[in-house]
Chains A and B, each alone.
Chain A
Amino acid sequence: MIHIHNLSLTIDQKNVLTDYTGSFMPGHFIGLTGPNGTGKTTFLRTLAGLHASTTGTILFNHKDIKKLHPKSLAQLCAYVPAEPVCHWPLTVTQILSIVSNNKEEIECLSKKMKIETLRNQNFQTLSSGEKARVLLVQALLRKTPILILDELTSHLDESHTYEMMSYLKSLAIEGRTIFLSLHDIEEGYLHCDTLLHLCEYTLKPLKKKAPTLKEVRP
């Protein structure tokens, strides 16, 4: 359960969001849209406790994230940045071993996300889509109830996006709260429970329009 109360954000003295209040239940899949540069990433980083210039409170299960120990916060939410950079030439296996030593689980999730063939490849040489899948596996291995994914699907082609979104939806149904920033609004309508639009310092839910072509398609 996430409660956000009177949240205002600034970055480099520029306003991003003013006085936002809202709550999100477990099992909610929230899509975040908005023009470039409005501060979607800042909002997501704030949720993950990584952005300091804020007023207002964010509560995870009634606990203020600013007062939580970093270790406890780490067990609650996993954050995947938009453009991940790995500074050393590490293989996919090594990257996954940073978060977990459970070989069976790694195997199982790697199969599910179709990255088992990439196991011994250098992460730096993977394509954006492959990187996104590896990082999702890495985040899932941490078994956190909250997932914060910044533009995870932005570099995927249409069919991979569809696949990823349905998978995220199934994760939400299992009880996770998922935040995903994205640009494909139709994809968002199709899979997300709520679609929030960040524009002019406010977050507003986007109302569903009439069914789009994608939804009609079997």
Chain B
Amino acid sequence: MNQSSFFIVILITLFSLVLASLFVGNIPWQSLWAQTDVFLFALTHLRLPRTLLAVLAGAGLGITGAALQGFLRNPLADPGLIGVSSGASLSAVLALSLGFSLTTIPFLGIIGALLTTLFLHQAISKNKDTLRLILVGLALNSFLSALTALTLNFSKNPYKSLEIMFWLLGSFSDQPLDKVLWAILPVIVGFYIIYRDRHALDTLSFGEDFSHNMGHAINIVQKKLIIGIALIIGPIVSLGGIVGFVGLIAPHILRQILKTKPSDLLIPSALSGAVLCLLADIGVRFLSIGSEIKIGVVTSFLGAPFFLYLLLKKGKTKHDPYS
């Protein structure tokens, strides 16, 4: 599929899903005439922030996944897998249990994500093997999750712990509109930082020497990427919790469909990430029996087998591992 027809298809899909997300739910759209105020309240206070957050989170996870995979030249990279999301959630959980005000949470999320990525940056500064980074990231991910669990363990208020645990499972509902609107700003800055260096990702296809020789100082590109990822993942995690595997799957599917360079995968991955998150979020509204299934559960439920499939397939084809 060529780029332009892909963009037409994905934009139409995204637009229809946004509309569906706004009009599908417990309060059906037919009530627009019967109970106008109730419906409008649900629209602006519940569904609009929810839809916005789903788009924002999906797009952010998609672009950071595509950028990380391009940078590390490894299709198994994803901000969730290498611990960035866990870093953001740990600092948010710490802040919540220490009683920080809710407005500071997104910023603390950015700091948590930043600290995690800086640690990863330091860990691979001597040995730039990209597989090593992924393994270090996996270990870091487990450790940060353990710290989060420990924080919850020591929490004095059981109701609060439960609330935090549910939030950690990932959900786009119940966030006020103004908070979601605030989160857009750092995410857009992060997008800009990552998108500006897209050309370096292409040159990295031939390794760091080639990229250097083409005029990209890799250390600087890496630092910018770290900041960009933290600016995107921090606010998304602090609002939506951990929604795994979207950043892994979106670029991978697009690589098969578009067959293109890493730079041309960034925006399509963002759009597809948004589509995946919206689909999952609309899906959980139908699946709900009693309490709503958390979106992070759905994406991990579908994403983990997909990851396994990738690993098994990679082992089979030795010479052409990414196609």
Contacts and interface: CB of A to CB of B under 8 A. Distances in A.
Interface of A: 45, 48-50, 69-75, 77-79, 81, 84-91, 94-95, 97-99, 122, 124-125
Given A45-B209, A85-B206, A122-B323, 6 more contacts: A49-B212, A79-B213, A86-B205, A87-B206, A88-B205, A88-B262
Given A87-B322, A89-B259, A122-B323, A98 B212 contact: no
A106 B108 CA distance: 49
Interface stretch (B96-104, B118-126, B214-222, B290-298): B214-222
B261 interface: yes
Contact of A81 (B210, B255, B262): B210
Nearest to A87: B73
Interface string B257-281: 0011110000000000000000000
B323 A89 contact: yes
B213 A94 contact: no
A89 B322 contact: yes
A10 to B, nearest CB: 18
Interface string B212-246: 11111100000000000000000000000000000
A90 B205 contact: yes
A98 B205 contact: yes
Interface in B44-92: 73
Contact size class for B?
A: 20 to 34
Contacts of A84: 206, 210
B261 A94 contact: yes
A86 B206 CA distance: 5
Closest 4 CB pairs of A and B: A74-B215, A87-B73, A71-B215, A89-B323
Contact of A74 (B204, B214, B255): B214
B203 interface: yes
Interface in B138-170: none
B197 to A, nearest CB: 13
Contact of A70 (B209, B212, B255): B212
B166 to A, nearest CB: 39
A88 B322 contact: yes
A122 B216 CA distance: 25
B323 to A, nearest CB: 4
Given A70-B217, A73-B215, A81 B207 contact: yes
A50 B212 contact: yes
Contacts of B199: 98
Given A94-B260, A97-B261, A87 B212 contact: no
A70 B322 contact: no
B262 A70 contact: no
Given A85-B207, A122-B323, A98 B202 contact: yes
Contacts of A91: 259
19 contacts: A45-B209, A48-B213, A50-B212, A69-B215, A70-B215, A74-B215, A77-B213, A78-B213, A79-B213, A81-B206, A84-B210, A86-B205, A87-B206, A87-B207, A89-B259, A90-B260, A90-B261, A94-B261, A98-B202
B129 interface: no
A97 B198 CA distance: 14
A79 B214 CA distance: 9
B213 A74 contact: yes
B178 interface: no
Given A70-B217, A71-B215, A78-B213, A88 B207 contact: no
B319 interface: yes
A80 to B, nearest CB: 9
Contact of A50 (B204, B209, B216): B209
Contact of A89 (B206, B207, B217, B320): B320
Contacts of B212: 49-50, 70
Interface string B175-208: 0000000000000000000000001001111110
B27 to A, nearest CB: 46
A53 B255 CA distance: 38
Contacts of A48: 209, 213
Contact of B203 (A45, A81, A89, A98): A98
A187 B36 CA distance: 86
Nearest to A51: B209
Interface in B272-323: 319-320, 322-323
Contacts of A90: 205, 260-261
Contacts of B217: 70
B207 A124 contact: no
A86 to B, nearest CB: 5
Contacts of A122: 320, 323
Contacts of A72: 215
Contacts of A125: 320
A99 B205 CA distance: 12
A144 B176 CA distance: 55
